[in-house]
Structure 1
Amino acid sequence: MNTVTQLHSTTPEKFKAELLQGVTECLNQFSEQQKATEPVEWLSRKDLKVMLQVSLVTIHDWCKKGILKPYKIGRMVRFKRSEVVRILEESATK
């Protein structure tokens, strides 16, 4: 069974150009999204202690106060480096 699709008010060249433009835009968006996605770097409490030059008690207090967002898996606690850097930058502008 053959099916025929007819397009009105356009030429094959215009249709092809519009189709290619749409595909190109989609690929560009996808490419930008992939560039923006950086791998997550996880920090332990000890890593954070060294980075911020504070005690583990201070890190614990900041977690309880909601300043830092801990991610827990079982007994392990990790922090996203990007979130810690963002918090530091925001506190510097205040």
Structure 2
Amino acid sequence: MSNNSNNGTNNPLLVQMTKDELMQDFEQIVRKIVSQMQVQQISKDEKETYTRDEAAEYLNVSHSTLHNWKKKGILMPFKMGAKVYYSKDEVKARLKIN
């Protein structure tokens, strides 16, 4: 007795589409991702402070570089509770110097 039921769990669904249809689907996905990235960037720009991860990402440097800059007095973080933050204005000023 063979179990050839087509319940969709073991059998992939293949869909035929034209190149244009595929490109339209791909463009919609890319637009959605770009839109989400823009929303995330806007919310970052509205922040007054950056976490260590955000500052490193924004400046495209490692955590070690941030630490070295702190030791040299180049970019000074501050603490709120146990967390380390960087001033948005100082981070943006540092970006212009690089």
Structure 2 length-normalised TM? 0.47
Structure 1 length-normalised TM? 0.49
- Structure with greater Cα Rg: 1
